[in-house]
Amino acid sequence: MSDSKRIPRHLAIIMDGNGRWAERRHRPRTLGHRAGARAVQVCLDFCLAEGIGTLTLFAFSSENWNRPAEEVGALMKLFLRMLDNEVDELHRRGARILFVGERGEFPAVIQEKMRRAELVTAGNTAINICIAAGYGGRWDIVQAARKLAREVRDGSLAPEAIDETLFSSRLCMAGLPDPDLFIRTGGDLRISNFLLWQLAYTEMWFTETLWPDLDAVTLRQAMDDFASRERRFGLTSAQVSGTAQGNAA
Ligand code: IPE
Ligand code: IPE
Ligand code: MG
């Protein structure tokens, strides 16, 4: 299990089920979000201990802006509190923090704290933590297309030069490997506009566990399942075992 191929370089998670966790307790949904913030710590401890290089957490989708104003407001408060309380500790632990998504829609104070967190932690190498906030996979592809279109218009890029590598380089997570393992908690079997481009060859793992109930045992199950899978990247099994290679980078 110590084989580096058995450990995802990049783990991407849809942290789902906060609302239901609270509703089952007859409590307001916002309480579930607060409990979910504690589960982030569990997850982070696990990833640091396992040596996972990049952890991407889907915290707030582009569609989540359409939730009731009260819930959105409570989530903004929670983001702000986490930015105030957690960033220094993450920095101390050597985490580099990145935010991916349309951040222009967030309150200015949150945008400023996101910028500061990225700046302060830019040189850290223990783990990359990408927080997908105001993120949508379709939005990401559209903003990359828009950047490329501008470059073509300005004469700095020939349309023929656009290939998959170049396109990837204009996406939000440029420079990071594609996720090896995707986890969604909360029991729903869908991607919900998460990393549409980057999940092309990612191994998917779903659990009924609601995000606030996440524990190391559940994460271990996902890791063990991942370690047992054969990733073929379009090749045959014989090819894969013959070369013992496979990389969709
Ligand atoms: C995920 O939990 C957190 C966010 C989307 C912000 P939900 O709030 O979606 O919880 P459920 O899916 O309604 O239980
Ligand atoms: C996906 O969960 C987004 C986040 C966890 C941040 P949703 O709860 O928004 O997804 P749907 O609506 O069930 O597809
Ligand atoms: Mg949900």
Q: How far is the centre of ligand 3, averaged over its atoms, from the C-alpha of 15 (Å)?
A: 8
d(CA 206, CA 187) in angstroms, rounded, equals: 7
Say if residues 184 and 206 touch (Cβ distance below 8 Å).
yes
With a 6 Å cutoff on the Cβ, whether 136 touches ligand 1 is no
With a 6 Å cutoff on the Cβ, whether 139 touches ligand 1 is no
Q: For the segment 193-216, what is each residue's pLDDT rounded down to a tens digit?
A: 999 999 999 999 999 999 999 999
Q: How far is CA 34 from the centre of its chain?
A: 19
Active site annotation includes 16: yes
- Kindly tell me if the per-residue pLDDT of 1 is higher than 60: no
Edge to edge, the sheet with strand 54-61 lists: 95-100, 127-135, 54-61, 10-14, 181-184, 203-206
| Burial (CB count within 10 angstroms: exposed 0-12, middle 13-18, buried 19+), residue 226 | buried
Query: For residue 192, which atom of ligand 2 is closest to its CA?
Result: 14
pTM metric for this prediction:
0.95
CATH top-level class of 4-248 = alpha beta
| Domain chopping of the chain, boundaries | 4-248
With a 6 Å cutoff on the Cβ, whether 64 touches ligand 2 is yes
With a 6 Å cutoff on the Cβ, whether 64 touches ligand 1 is yes
SS in 3 state form for 4-71? HHHCCCEEEEECCCHHHHHHCCCCCHHHHHHHHHHHHHHHHHHHHHHCCCEEEEEEEEHHHHHCCHHH
Q: For the segment 61-114, what is each residue's pLDDT rounded down to a tens digit?
A: 999 999 999 999 999 999 999 999 999 999 999 999 999 999 999 999 999 999
Residue nearest to atom 1 of ligand 1 (CA): 16
With a 6 Å cutoff on the Cβ, whether 186 touches ligand 1 is yes
The label of the residue with tokens 């500061």 reads 116
- Kindly tell me if the per-residue pLDDT of 244 is higher than 70: no
Q: For the segment 139-197, what is each residue's pLDDT rounded down to a tens digit?
A: 999 999 999 999 999 999 999 999 999 999 999 999 999 999 999 999 999 999 999 99
Instruction: Identify the band that residue 3 occupies on the pLDDT scale cut at 50, 70 and 90.
Output: low
Pocket test for ligand 2, best of 16, 33, 189 (most atoms within 8 A of CB): 16
What does the DSSP 8-state code read for residue 132?
E
Query: Which two tokens mark 20?
Result: 């239901």
Active site annotation includes 66: no
Among residues 187, 152, 134, 172, which one has the least CA distance to residue 16?
187
